[in-house]
């Protein structure tokens, strides 16, 4: 697996040299799954995935808990129910190029509009850490949060391994 950012110092220059988790490398190679299928990041906006630590088969199946579901991977058998608005946009857990940046902008506009209308929105990827974190953080910026606060909110909701793809973090910081 490709190296991800350390979940303790996030390779921040001030914290990295003394970091006990990565011993100053700023990088990690493991990324454990979350306990919860999804968590609420700000009121009405949830972030999650298709896999949880327990590997309980139906834990991540969406029925009618949400008004809008955005799936960044395409996997059958995980809902949502018929009649729930569902957008599938595949995004690779890789670099953010111009095309992906445009798609992110579009997604953030759609999700932010739904949150403003008090609809319950779920953004989900595989582990519910990076791709969903990227879209949720981008949406939070659209809703007026500073980038650093958006990243912190995502990590507070989904745990320290959220947004540890260094290219995603770099893209957010470039906004």
**Residues making contact with Zn ion (CB under 5 A):** 6, 8-9, 19, 21-22
Tell me the closest approach of the beta carbon of residue 13 to Zn ion, in angstroms: 11
Note whether 139 and 112 are within 8 A (CB): yes
SS3 content of the chain, % helix, strand, coil (to 5): 30, 15, 55
Output the smallest distance, CB 60 to Zn ion, in A.
29
Both tokens assigned to 122: 């779920």
Task: Give the CA angle between residues 112, 114, 93 to the nearest 5°.
Answer: 55
Instruction: Indicate the residue among 8 and 59 with the shorter CB distance to Zn ion.
Output: 8
71 or 164: whose CB is closer to Zn ion?
Answer: 164
Phi, psi (degrees; rounded to nearest 5) at 74: -110, 95
Residue where the block lists tokens 């003394």: 18
Min dist. Cβ of residue 37 to Zn ion (A): 28
The nearest distance, CB 29 to Zn ion, in angstroms, is: 13
User: In the block, which residue shows the tokens 């111009």?
Assistant: 98
| Cα distance between residue 66 and residue 85, in whole Å | 9
Complex with Zn ion: residue 4 or 111, whichever CB lies closer: 4
Residue 160 CB, nearest approach to Zn ion (Å): 10
State which residue, 26 or 133, has the beta carbon closest to Zn ion. Answer: 26
Measured over all CA atoms, what is the biggest interatomic distance in the chain, rounded to whole angstroms? Answer: 52
Residue closer to Zn ion, measured from CB, 19 or 143: 19
């Amino acid at each position: 697996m490709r190296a991800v950012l350390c979940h303790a110092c996030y390779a921040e220059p001030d914290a990295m040299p003394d970091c006990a988790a990565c011993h100053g490398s700023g990088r990690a190679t493991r990324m454990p799954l979350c306990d919860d299928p999804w968590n609420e990041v700000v009121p009405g906006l949830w972030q999650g995935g298709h896999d949880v630590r327990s590997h309980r088969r139906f834990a991540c199946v969406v029925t009618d808990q949400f008004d809008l579901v955005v799936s960044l991977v395409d996997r059958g058998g995980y809902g949502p129910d018929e009649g729930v608005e569902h957008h599938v946009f595949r995004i690779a857990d890789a670099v953010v190029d111009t095309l992906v940046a445009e798609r992110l902008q579009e997604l953030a506009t759609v999700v932010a509009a739904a949150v403003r209308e008090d609809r319950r929105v779920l953004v989900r990827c595989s582990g519910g850490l990076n791709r969903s974190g990227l879209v949720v953080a981008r949406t939070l910026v659209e809703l007026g949060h500073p980038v650093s606060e958006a990243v912190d909110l995502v990590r507070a909701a989904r745990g320290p391994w959220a947004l540890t793809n260094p290219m995603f973090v770099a893209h957010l910081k470039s906004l």
